[in-house]
Amino acid sequence: MYQLSTPKEKMMLQEVVMKLVVTMEIAVAIGRRKHLDFFEEKKVLFFLLHYS
């Protein structure tokens, strides 16, 4: 198991996780609003991750 050695590494990881969670929530919200199916929702998520 990889250990996070410095507080800075922990902060960076937390930032990445938070960004991912928020992006997923945005993708799901867009999906619900537009009544997209599961696969279209994944496309939206990929697009948001790629361009954010």
The one-letter code for the residue type at 49 is L
CB-side neighbour CA atoms (13 Å) of 39: 0
Q: What is the pLDDT of residues 1-52, one digit of tens each?
A: 567 678 888 888 888 888 888 888 888 888 788 877 777 777 878 887 777 6
Residue 52: the pLDDT is 62
Of 18, 40, 20, the residue nearest 31 (C-alpha): 40
pLDDT digits (tens, 9 = 90+) for 32-41: 888 777 777 7
In sequence order, which ranges of 1-52 are alpha helices (DSSP H)? 7-34, 38-51
* Per-domain boundaries in the chain: 7-51
